[in-house]
Structure 1
């Protein structure tokens, strides 16, 4: 297949969760002989933190403004079997209009931020990547979130055919590694700062750090404010590129996952960090949300925490207990949640010819 994608970013992993997912997916697609062309607006904050410059087996098209590459986009769409526009793509509306005018490819919208999309719409806030006709003209709508979100995309935004395409991990990037002293910690956490995660992060990391002053805690991420409530035993790494994740996870006895509020409320929205940490062999502890048990078995493959005492109890487990749990989680991820697995799922979803899909959807409507 020739697949054209209009997305947020694949070139920079700074401050977003999209790039690492696309890299793993594109690598797996390329391994199966598919060609991907990724269009990304070249914004300063990603340009200054770029850690990928080309797309093997395809093309990375960086551009300053839409008019600059509209001709190239039309040419690529004329050759495409499938074309995808994503949530938070800066030119989603223009790209979506052009994509929907192209007769050859399957027309796809992929919302990697479904709970945020639906929450904003529910509050009457504008969503810049959803046009006036919403999602009703797309042949297929993919969602990073399953469960009730799929029905809401249909009932609220008019999506006709929906399917989940969950997060995943590339085991060639995220795999067991040697510990590094600079990342040594009893409990670690990777995540861009988000205000709606702060309350949970306070309960599950900051309060345990206060209760255990002789333990070492470590946060890695971007955009943390000056007034963040640091303690003397919480250390910080400003930004950690994906290449450093394995060493980071390997250097911690336990790593924490904290889900954004809208995603936790909706459920069935596993963070890519969960799969990455598990693939690296790190013992996991997470806040709880509906659907978590569909991805990991609580108590066997992952620990679940609702309060600080759950975290401190986890820190008291033996190394052997944590290692057994990490081994089970890694086996689960390698069997069910790799980029290779998601690529096969995506190809299967895209396999229906556009004319057949549109005819079927027209009959269903």
Structure 2
């Protein structure tokens, strides 16, 4: 089957946290025989900051950020068996949605794939006349990369025919154990861009612990933190390219995951970093959120902190030997249950079940 996928970017992760998810999901679906074309707008300088070239398992079409170009690529939807409109494409999302619904064939499966469900649903609740809210019933299915039952129930209440979470996962060919690099040496490291809905939690879970355990070394990676006041035991290294993420994860004794506020409040929303870190065999300390135990076992495969005090205590009692044991168990768990190959099995089953149901109705 042919998939026309309209998203933010496949080839650039620059200010595009969904890139890893897109790559893992679509690569695994391509391995199952799907013919995929990914359409992405040339906006936010993403094309100037590519971290991969178009892969051989997916055709990538980059279009200029104009209504005319949008209409031209949206017209390509009529050639697809499955048409996917992702959330947060970044250029005239509402126009793109209406154009895709207009151009998709009547027999094509139409999917809204939400890669930030808590934020999308908050926006829909505040705007009863939102174009997406009015159009939800036109999609055959909503897929999300997190949120669990709360997100599913909310989407159905808003008029979605069905909603199924397909969670973040691991691509073991991309994220895996590597040799350590001295530049990332630390007792605890955190990687994340400075964002408004994350900053207060970073203060609580990262910056507060740095002052509580002055004898420990910390590394901070990500864009936007250069003017932040930091204790002497924090080393800020700025942007860390995706090609360095494995070394960033495996080198420190432990790495920290801090969810954005909306993700933590909703729960059941493991970030891509959870699986990337586990895939590298890292010892991961995560902020507390509902549903962690569905993915990794707290205390054995992942360490969970309710606040910055917990982070400091966990770190104070951690040794390299204990950390490596946790990392090994996490790696084994995600390889066994949480790869994108596992997620693609679910997506493939959903697509084929829908197709068979349509055949029965037509008959």
- TM-score w.r.t. length of structure 1: 0.91
The CA distance in 2 between the partners of 1:319 and 1:263, in whole Å, is 30
Aligned residues: 356
Contact kept in structure 2, 1:167 and 1:270, CA below 8 Å = yes
Contact kept in structure 1, 2:188 and 2:219, CA below 8 Å = yes
2:322 maps to: 321
Q: Kindly provide the CA deviation profile for residues 257-291 of structure 1, in whole angstroms up to 9, marking residues without a partner as x.
A: 11111111111111110010000000011111111
1:119 maps to: 122
The CA distance in 1 between the partners of 2:359 and 2:129, in whole Å, is 29
2:153 maps to: 151
Query: Matches of residues 281-300 of structure 1 in structure 2 within 5 Å?
Result: 281-300=281-300
Query: Matches of residues 151-190 of structure 1 in structure 2 within 5 Å?
Result: 151-156=153-158, 158-190=159-191
RMSD: 2.2
Contact kept in structure 2, 1:14 and 1:239, CA below 8 Å = no
2:97 maps to: 96
**Aligned mate of 2:111, from 108, 113, 119:** 108
2:269 maps to: 269
2:207 maps to: 206
1:106 to 1:233, Cα distance in 2 relative to 1, 3 A = same
The CA distance in 2 between the partners of 1:50 and 1:152, in whole Å, is 35
The CA distance in 2 between the partners of 1:246 and 1:341, in whole Å, is 21
1:359 to 1:139, Cα distance in 2 relative to 1, 3 A = farther
1:54 maps to: 54
Contact kept in structure 2, 1:21 and 1:167, CA below 8 Å = yes
Higher mean Cα deviation, 90-99 or 53-62? Answer: 90-99
Contact kept in structure 2, 1:147 and 1:267, CA below 8 Å = no
1:355 to 1:79, Cα distance in 2 relative to 1, 3 A = farther
1:334 maps to: 335
2:197 maps to: 196
Shift of 1:189: 0.9
SS at match of 1:136: helix
The CA distance in 2 between the partners of 1:211 and 1:19, in whole Å, is 35
Q: Kindly provide the CA deviation profile for residues 90-145 of structure 1, in whole angstroms up to 9, marking residues without a partner as x.
A: 24323322332322420000111111112233345997xx5362411100110122
Higher mean Cα deviation, 59-68 or 296-305? Answer: 59-68
Alignment of 1:19 onto 2:22: no
The CA distance in 2 between the partners of 1:358 and 1:97, in whole Å, is 26
Contact kept in structure 1, 2:181 and 2:251, CA below 8 Å = yes
The CA distance in 1 between the partners of 2:224 and 2:359, in whole Å, is 43
- TM-score w.r.t. length of structure 2: 0.91
Shift of 1:353: 4.6
The CA distance in 2 between the partners of 1:176 and 1:197, in whole Å, is 28
The CA distance in 2 between the partners of 1:305 and 1:63, in whole Å, is 43
- Which structure 1 segments of 5+ residues have no match? 361-365
SS at match of 2:253: strand
1:138 maps to: 139
The CA distance in 2 between the partners of 1:44 and 1:118, in whole Å, is 24
1:349 maps to: 350
SS at match of 1:175: coil
